[in-house]
Amino acid sequence: MIFKKFKYLHIYLPSIFIIWLALFIDSKTISSLISHNQYISNIIVIATFIYLYRNVTVKIRKIMLYGVFLGLAGETLFALILGMYSYRLENLPIYVPFGHSIVYVIVFYIAKEKLVKINYQSVIKYLYIFMTTFSTYWFIIKDDTFGFICFLFIVYLFYKKPQMRLFYLIMYCMVLYLELVGTYYNCWVWPETWFGKIDFISSANPPSSISLFYFGFDLGCLWIYKKLNSKKWNRMKNIKRIRACK
Q: Render pLDDT for 1-34 as a digit per residue (tens, 0 to 9).
A: 556 788 999 999 999 999 999 999 999 999 999 9
Greatest alpha-carbon span in the chain: 62
> Residue 236 pLDDT > 90, yes or no?
no
Q: List Cβ neighbours of 143 (8 Å cut-off, separation of 6 or more).
A: 202, 204
In this structure, the strands spanning 193-194 and 188-189 are unpaired
% residues pLDDT > 70 (the chain): 92
From 49-53, 184-188, 218-222, the region with the lowest mean pLDDT: 218-222
- CA 216, CA 202: separation in Å to the nearest integer? 22
- CA 175, CA 147: separation in Å to the nearest integer? 13
Q: List Cβ neighbours of 226 (8 Å cut-off, separation of 6 or more).
A: 233
Cα distances (Å, whole numbers) of residue 7 to 2, 12, 107, 114, 151: 11, 10, 14, 8, 31
- Which pLDDT does position 246 carry in this prediction? 54
Spell out the domain ranges in the chain: 7-233
> Residue 235 pLDDT > 70, yes or no?
no
> Residue 101 pLDDT > 70, yes or no?
yes
Model-level pTM? 0.91
